[in-house]
Amino acid sequence: MRPPLHGTETLPGSTRFQVWAPRLDRLSIRLERREVPLARSPDGWFGAEVPGVAPGARYVLVLPDGRTRPDPASLRQPDGVHGPSQVFDPGAFRWTAGGWRGLPLEALTFYELHLGTFTSEGTLDAAAARLPELVDLGVSCVELMPVQPFPGDRNWGYDGVELHAVHEGYGGPEALQRFVDRAHGLGLAVCLDVVYNHLGPEGNYLAELGPYFTSRHRSPWGDGLNYDGEDARPVRDFMLEAAVRWARDYRVDALRLDAVQAIQDDSPRHLVGELCDRVAEVSRETGRQIHVIAESDLNDRKVVEPGPGGWGACAAWADDLHHALHALLTGERGHYYADYGRPEDVQRALLQGFVYQGQRSEFRKRPFGTSTEGLLPLRFVACLQNHDQVGNRPFGERLTALVPWEALAPAAAILILGPALPLLFMGEEYGESRPFLYFTSHGDPALARAVSEGRKKELIAVAAGRPIPDPQDPQTFEQSRLTHRRSGRHGALREVYRQLLAVRRRHAAAIGAHWPEVARDGRAFTVRRPGLTLRANLGPEPAGGMPGWGWGVEEG
């Protein structure tokens, strides 16, 4: 395997430090009792092998003017994003599930969870203790929202700045290794959400070191990352090495790449494609099945196509089924839901993955999407709910607050026994009634005010005069914690999910390999494959021989 270029490498009796900082003429590291200058190469790399430095040692980078900074490729940040870094040896962990080789793509059913709100403790160890419940539910892959360090103790994770490390409030890097080992021992795969389209605004010191960012590209978060300009190679490697670490050192089974449409890269080989290549190398070298899943709103087949013209991801999020179901069930037509709401949109999503394959989108005011012809259903991931679709609403309402309770089971059946790989959002399976809100805990007062005011201004037009929850208020975070309810109708709904997932498991290979036949009678759908027929009525009136909100499954 390739040695890392960025950060630290633990060696027998010493530690190697390497930092790319071409904007500096000198750089040193300060350890507990000494300061060590790093040698500079002509291309801006600083490095030194320092004897006697072992895992656990804390260090900071010392800039020429005396300011100190954490290592941007730190493997551990025990005191947060502004504090000193700590040497960590990921190879020291003793794995107990060494025989684990991963799961094939068609077997993946995702359960997306946010570590801070999944349990009262909000840690990886506490979440690991609840993994047997997910085994009983029948999902096969736990998808963790980002675990990289962020400012404060409350955040969705998309404000991460130390992209090679694990947030200390979640337990730090060893806790992630324990979580993955526990999951593998129970037969569960682990998918990690990673963000390579931007870094968070607080604790992000990369621009002081070198041209990690460029004004040639702009994103919703400011300057884009320099993936394709002068001196882009070290920037690309900074991100690629982070991805490789998760696959190699933490043994995750899949990476979910956040918002790949916002990764702006005009290189001959797009960053997503090169990342897929690097992860495939780890898969070959370790003998484990490791998948790269791209979150994409592009409706573009190039995301999953191999070869020079494609990016080569194993699968991509396909939002159209979510949008079609949500608009049909709720009647909402704002924003991108303006393009959906007809029963035939649900039908087409089930038949072909994308609803929009080149026809005009009224929301976008242009043709949108590409054909899915020749792509297998297992190349798509679909959901009824996820953190974005729930949390980006002004009040974080889950589907339970928007549709009749009776609608939840037939909608779940359409998702789980539909053609795409299904993704559940934590609590969905029992009808969690608490919201999932947007929350932060920035320490910079000016940034905290800007986030609170920006959220208010962004959503005031759709808030109907109600005060929008303040992301910085700890109560916004507390309101989002799961209740894990099992009594009454919550337990009954969970049992429906459990049964549907069991059916999916029995037919996974066939579902992933063949698009179904889909007949429709009004809002009632019949989804057929050899050996499996699903009937689901997504309306309150009888249709298709079913009562309102009725559903049923036939096997054989």
Alpha helices in 407-444 (DSSP H): 408-416
Q: Pick from 264, 243, 258, 86: which is nearest to 156 by CA?
A: 258
Q: Kind of pairing, strands 532-537 and 551-555? A: antiparallel
- 3-state DSSP helix/strand/coil percent for the chain, to nearest 5? 35, 20, 45
Catalytic-residue membership of 295: yes
Q: Token digits for 412?
A: 């779940």
Q: Pick from 381, 246, 225: which is nearest to 314 by CA?
A: 381
Q: Token digits for 423?
A: 């993704």
Side-chain-side CA neighbours of 318 within 13 Å: the count stands at 38
Secondary structure of 183-223 as H, E, C letters: HHHCCCEEEEEECCCCCCCCCCCHHHHCCCEEEEEEECCEE
What is the tally of helices (H) and strands (E) in the chain? Answer: 15, 25
Catalytic-residue membership of 25: no
Among the listed residues 112, 228, 295, 388, the single catalytic one is 295
Which residues make Cβ contacts (< 8 Å) with residue 316, sequence separation at least 6?
293, 294, 295, 296, 303, 304, 379, 380, 381
Which conformational region is residue 331 in: left (phi greater than 0), alpha (psi within -120 to 50 degrees), or beta?
left
DSSP 8-state secondary structure symbol assigned to residue 546: B
Q: Pick from 6, 442, 464, 486: which is nearest to 200 by CA?
A: 442
Among the listed residues 193, 241, 253, 258, the single catalytic one is 258
- Strands (E) across 79-231 are located at 85-86, 110-113, 141-144, 189-194, 213-219, 222-225
Q: Pick from 16, 41, 13: which is nearest to 27 by CA?
A: 41
Side-chain-side CA neighbours of 392 within 13 Å: the count stands at 7
Instruction: Kindly list the catalytic residues.
Output: 258, 295
